[in-house]
Amino acid sequence: MCAVSNSPAALPFAAAPGPAARRDLLLAGAALAMAGLAPARAVPARWVLPYPEIWRRPRLLWITRPQAQEAVRAVYWADGALQPEGYGAFNRLYRDLYANVQHPIALGLLDLNFVMQAALWRAVGPRPLVLFSGYRTHASNVRVGGVEPNIHGLGMADDFHYEGLSLQENLRLARQFQVGGLGLYPDRGSLHKDIGRFRSWVTAGRPALSRRVAR
């Protein structure tokens, strides 16, 4: 297992792609298209496909949610089919904590988490995605200062970071897998990602999300 450093350069997946990666770009694009994640720009295959057979394996995710003091480690897709128990557990974990309302989470978002996690686990070992915000109703989106249209309300976005990585390391990982929106919130120590249109931003000076929990 490789130790994690506070330096962004310490992560193996941060290296520049070599000539061999060009040959695999078509495979990367095909795999992303199959998952509903066609990228807006080329993504080096060594980052997107940690191993070629990744899409044939059960898609397991490990996600924690501090505000709710909950964690889920489950398979949401296996043997070519959605796994209702695991998928339902992630829908609940991603629920709007203010309104205590859940909504189906886009499989494309879960698949994006899956490939990011697979690359990270191979590089530095298992660690969870820490989820701060998932689905949001319109009222909750207004409450936290979210913009409209509310892509969180479509189940296509989350605010997160990976445990044990610095903010810079989290940003570098997210950039390498960016297929839609990517936002950086330095004051919160978190990032936003979505599978909407390709764009990026930095927002500072906004208060952290409330810790109040809706059960």
Cα 179 from Cα 199, distance rounded (Å): 9
Residue 180 pLDDT > 90, yes or no? Answer: yes
Report the percentage of the chain scoring pLDDT > 90.
59
**Residues 193, 112: contact at Cβ < 8 Å?**
yes
Give the domains, in start order, of the chain with CATH numbers.
56-202 (3.30.1380.10)
Q: Dump pLDDT digits (tens) for 153-163.
A: 999 999 999 99
Cα 45 from Cα 111, distance rounded (Å): 16
The model's pTM: 0.76
**156's tokens:** 């296509």
Residue 28 pLDDT > 80, yes or no? Answer: no
Tell me which residue has tokens 């998932």. 134
> Quick one: pLDDT at residue 105?
97
Cα 137 from Cα 91, distance rounded (Å): 14
DSSP bridge partners of 139: none
- CA-CA distances (angstroms) from residue 87 to 83, 90, 114, 149, 178? 6, 5, 13, 25, 23
